[in-house]
Amino acid sequence: MPVITNRNIVTSNINDAASKHNPAKVVCVYCGSAFGNNPKFATEAAKLGELIASKNWGLVYGGGTTGLMGTVARGTTSQGGYVHGIIPQALIARERADTSIDEFNARVQETVDKHDGTTPVPEISDYGYTTVVSNMHLRKQIMAEEAEAFVALPGGYGTLEELMEVVTWSQLGIHQKPVVLFNMDGFYDLFMVFIKNAIKSGFISEKSGSIIVVANTAEEVISAIENYVVPEGRFKLNWDENISNI
């Protein structure tokens, strides 16, 4: 199966896809490939996807069709929004589920087998455009470069790792994009306790503590992105141009 090993191969195809929708902004959403055991998670994920599309924004995400990942993607496409999913080859079997429609499944497989970068998964797809990449690092890099804001929904280890990477990049001055934590039903309450304790213990500055903005509803997520203020406490470092493009 051919896979993308260099982000430059993706660029022209993605630009063509995005130009058809012309999103005013692209939001990167990190979240679980599972639903979790709280039905509010899926409800709010779908609502966020719908709101993203209603703002004429686009979505870039991890490319899965299961769990909250699939839910936020379907929410966005249901309102005609642009969606770009990026998934490593190894995760297709786990995060991209078959549907009950045989024709759809066959065409998805054909897309995966023959893709040349970013190929529209069949027209009847609810998940927008898909790029299959060779590894996790390239997945995250393309997502970060395409995004103009980052939002973390409930998830597990992977979601937390993705969130903390872009938070750290903000602190280091690599980017100054909004970072929003969607604290559905108090899911991230204890995580925020950790942040406060790290500030109290002298490991995170008070100013850097404001890199993450907490939102409790889908509407608050949109507002947090629109009104984000870049924290003054970020490190003013000089980075290589290829890195600072993120």
Q: DSSP assignment of 129-162, as one string?
A: EEEEESSHHHHHHHHHHH-SEEEE-S--HHHHHH
User: How do residues 80-136 score in pLDDT, each as one tens digit?
Assistant: 999 999 988 777 765 565 555 455 455 555 545 554 444 444 344 678 888 888 889
Residue 1 has pLDDT above 50, yes or no: no
pTM of structure: 0.84
User: How do residues 26-79 score in pLDDT, each as one tens digit?
Assistant: 999 999 989 999 999 999 999 999 999 999 999 999 998 889 999 999 999 999
Residue 124: the pLDDT is 41
Measure the CA–CA gap between 154 and 40, rounded to whole angstroms.
11
Residue 244 has pLDDT above 70, yes or no: no
Measure the CA–CA gap between 165 and 242, rounded to whole angstroms.
17
Measure the CA–CA gap between 91 and 100, rounded to whole angstroms.
20
Residue 2: the pLDDT is 47
User: How do residues 174-225 score in pLDDT, each as one tens digit?
Assistant: 999 999 999 999 999 999 999 999 999 999 999 999 999 999 999 999 999 9
Residue 8: the pLDDT is 53
Residue 231: the pLDDT is 85
Q: Name the token pair of 79.
A: 């309102």
User: For the chain, which domains are there?
Assistant: 23-244 (3.40.50.450)
Dump the DSSP string for 161-215: HHHHHHHHHHHTTS----EEEE-GGGTTHHHHHHHHHHHHTTSS-TTGGGSEEEE
Residue 119: the pLDDT is 42
User: How do residues 122-151 score in pLDDT, each as one tens digit?
Assistant: 344 678 888 888 889 999 999 999 999 999
Residue 47: the pLDDT is 98
